[in-house]
Structure 1
Amino acid sequence: MKIFTLKSDLKKFLSVVKKDQKRIGFVPTMGALHQGHISLVEKAISENDITVVSIFVNPTQFDNQEDLEKYPNTLQQDIELLESVNCDVLFAPSVTEIYDENVVAEKFDFDGLEYEMEGKFRDGHFDGVGTIVKSLFEIITPDVAYFGKKDFQQLQIIKKMVEKLGLPIKIKGMPIFREEDGLAMSSRNARLTKEYREAGPFIHKILKKARKKIHSKDVEEIIAWVEKQFKKHPLLELEYFIIADEKTLQSATKFESGKTYRAFIAVFAGEIRLIDNVRFKNN
């Protein structure tokens, strides 16, 4: 696996790849890799000639400085994991290499997608996401980029950005990768204490139960039921539970026949914030 830390060196290498008309797959990450990330990398390897993975903890998408400082850094382990699946290229730049001395997010208009769910609770988060993904796309110019559906709102926002900027990149959303007990895989899971880790699967359990209520309860009743379950939980604190139109991400007030919805949840396990989602299909 080739490892690059400088944009100029990576661009030079990829220019040769492009001259040979090879197809480039790209998986952007913030490191602390787990099997969810690796499933994206393996998919990219299977569908492309060259697979590039980036590891970059992006400061402009954190609204909480403490969360940024505590974000796991496991670069050597990540390199070994990527090498074990025969990844072709790793791009691991410094903050200065990406932003120079101006660590500020660009402003984006995602047609309102940025104001729903996470946007209501994490100020400026999606401007930071848009800034780094746009920058990485410009450096790597991939044919296909792969994102996990755990961050479903982010996935929709990246698709919107690519559409609005007219970038010739296909965005692929891949299924949520879960632990055996149902907890959605996340780099932040490594920071959970034993007690909170054991409590974590409750989140997906409640999402699955809520999904079953779509044919017998209305939106408000399902939301109230979920909120009640978390009020009774001794450890987990619900930040939000929202049922939204899968395309617009706008909160639903009622279920309409033929529409597809998705339930989004954010929960605090102590100081660690966990998110998840499941699809609601109303046939």
Structure 2
Amino acid sequence: MQVAHRREDVRVMRAGLGTVALVPTMGFLHDGHLSLVELARRHHDAVAVSVFVNPTQFGPGEDLDSYPRDLDHDLGLLEQAGVDLVWVPEVADVYPVGSSTRVRVEGPLTAVLEGGRRPGHFDGVATVVTILLGAIRPDALVIGAKDAQQVVVLRQVVRDLAIGVQVVVGPTWREPDGLAMSSRNVYLTPVQRAAAPVLRRSLTEVEQRYAAGERDAETLRSLVRSGVATQSEGSLEYVSVADPVTLAELDRIGPAGALVSLAADFGRARLLDNVTLPGAGRAPATVR
């Protein structure tokens, strides 16, 4: 496994790898990240992974300084997983002195949900991923479904900027009790950790009611609100039942299906989760 720190080293190491799939991460890796590495390997000659806590996607008062980090452990996992190239840049290598270009997706895609609550967050995400794609020049970008709005935004970036890369989305990877894997789960106290699977249970109830024929979006939102309210350790920040492409909130779910997403606070941990309700003729998304 080759480990690059400087941008120019990435270009040298990338040469000769054949087709490459990139898995961008902020480190503190878990089995969900490794599932994306496995997915990346399936149709490409080589896998590249970036490990970079991107400061431009954190807002004031967020956990940039305390975000969990363990680079030695990450590198060990990636080597064991057979990753070919790892880029571990410093901030100054991603954003050199004088850097003044930012990528912004304007309009409703970034004005709602996470974008509405974390101003500038998706500017940071779109910018850093564009830089990673430009430096590594992969054939595919492999990202996880847990950050659903991020998936929609990055697909828009790739389309709008004519970046010749395939966007591959891996399923949300879960703990045995259903909690979506996240590096921030380490913030949970034991009591909060025991309560947090209520998020998955509430979304599962939504899936079951939808499969039984429920199409009223507010009824499904209410199911999540009442489900999360059964415990006292976490509070629901929002629940959305939206068009899976435009992220516009729905009154009633039609043939296109819906993206049901939520954010909840459990102490220091802000947890995200979602499910996709399939439209006509579509199979449900695979989750573990």
Q: Please state how far the C-alpha of 1:65 moved relative to its aligned partner.
A: 3.9
**Partner amino acid, structure 2, of 1:15:** A
Inter-partner Cα distance in structure 2 for 1:54 and 1:240:
30
Of all paired residues, the percent bearing the same amino acid is 35
Cα-Cα RMSD: 1.7
Match among 196, 207, 214 for residue 211 of structure 1: 207
1:48 to 2:44 alignment: yes
Deviations 1:135-177, CA, capped at 9 Å, x for gaps: 0000001001100000111111111101100111000011110
Normalised TM-score (structure 2): 0.92
Mapped contact 1:105–1:128 kept (Cα < 8 A): no
Match among 241, 249, 252 for residue 251 of structure 1: 249
Q: Please state how far the C-alpha of 1:260 moved relative to its aligned partner.
A: 1.4
**What is residue 273 of structure 2 aligned with on the other side?**
276
Q: Please state how far the C-alpha of 1:9 moved relative to its aligned partner.
A: 0.9
Inter-partner Cα distance in structure 1 for 2:277 and 2:106:
24
Q: Please state how far the C-alpha of 1:112 moved relative to its aligned partner.
A: 2.7
Mapped contact 2:241–2:258 kept (Cα < 8 A): yes
Inter-partner Cα distance in structure 2 for 1:105 and 1:199:
42
Match among 212, 218, 221 for residue 220 of structure 1: 218
Unaligned 5+ segments in structure 1 are none
Inter-partner Cα distance in structure 2 for 1:216 and 1:130:
35
Unaligned 5+ segments in structure 2 are 281-288
* 1:46-195 matched pairs, under 5 angstroms: 46-101=42-97, 106-195=102-191
Secondary structure of 1:190's aligned partner: helix
Q: Please state how far the C-alpha of 1:246 moved relative to its aligned partner.
A: 0.8
Deviations 1:178-226, CA, capped at 9 Å, x for gaps: 0010000001012211111111111000111122223236212222232
Q: Please state how far the C-alpha of 1:76 moved relative to its aligned partner.
A: 0.5
Q: Please state how far the C-alpha of 1:30 moved relative to its aligned partner.
A: 0.3
> CA 1:46/1:269 → structure 2, altered by over 3 Å: closer, same or farther?
same
**Partner amino acid, structure 1, of 2:209:** K
Secondary structure of 1:184's aligned partner: coil
> CA 1:267/1:104 → structure 2, altered by over 3 Å: closer, same or farther?
farther
Inter-partner Cα distance in structure 2 for 1:216 and 1:232:
22
Q: Please state how far the C-alpha of 1:104 moved relative to its aligned partner.
A: 7.0
Deviations 1:82-107, CA, capped at 9 Å, x for gaps: 11111111100011111124687714
Inter-partner Cα distance in structure 1 for 2:21 and 2:181:
22
**What is residue 21 of structure 2 aligned with on the other side?**
25
Mapped contact 2:198–2:227 kept (Cα < 8 A): no
**Partner amino acid, structure 2, of 1:5:** H
> CA 1:204/1:79 → structure 2, altered by over 3 Å: closer, same or farther?
same
Mapped contact 1:110–1:157 kept (Cα < 8 A): no
Inter-partner Cα distance in structure 2 for 1:136 and 1:161:
13
Q: Please state how far the C-alpha of 1:49 moved relative to its aligned partner.
A: 1.2
**What is residue 12 of structure 1 aligned with on the other side?**
12
**Partner amino acid, structure 2, of 1:219:** A
**What is residue 260 of structure 2 aligned with on the other side?**
263
**Partner amino acid, structure 2, of 1:260:** G
Mapped contact 1:236–1:269 kept (Cα < 8 A): yes
Q: Which has the larger share of helix?
A: 1
> CA 1:219/1:66 → structure 2, altered by over 3 Å: closer, same or farther?
closer
Secondary structure of 1:67's aligned partner: coil
Secondary structure of 2:276's aligned partner: strand
> CA 1:96/1:193 → structure 2, altered by over 3 Å: closer, same or farther?
same
Mapped contact 1:25–1:52 kept (Cα < 8 A): yes
